[in-house]
Structure 1
Amino acid sequence: MTSKQDDGRRAAVEKQIDENLRRVYEQDVTEQVPDRFLDLLKKLREQE
């Protein structure tokens, strides 16, 4: 059986994990695709 203190700690850790995942996802969404990847995609499309 877990104590209320353990439940509070678990909730705090889960909240921190959620916040960190949101932060990383938001960074990925706002970053542009590097030119070298765009060039690679262009070359791959040309091969088709």
Structure 2
Amino acid sequence: MATLYPARAIGVDKQLGSIAPGMVANLTAFTHDYKIIKTIVNGNEVVTE
């Protein structure tokens, strides 16, 4: 994952950097042409199209 190594470098890889149960969920979903369709922050949907 693109965020695992930076999270590991600053010592927060036990909470951030992977998609897995118990991890903090900050995700953005895009269409094939990079339009944002969903954003999830701390496990809560904040943007949905």
TM-score normalised to structure 2 length: 0.21
Instruction: Name the larger-Rg structure.
Output: 1
- TM-score normalised over the length of structure 1: 0.21
Q: Greater helix share, 1 or 2?
A: 1
Bigger RCO (CA 8 Å, 6+ sep): 2
Higher strand proportion (structure 1 or 2):
2
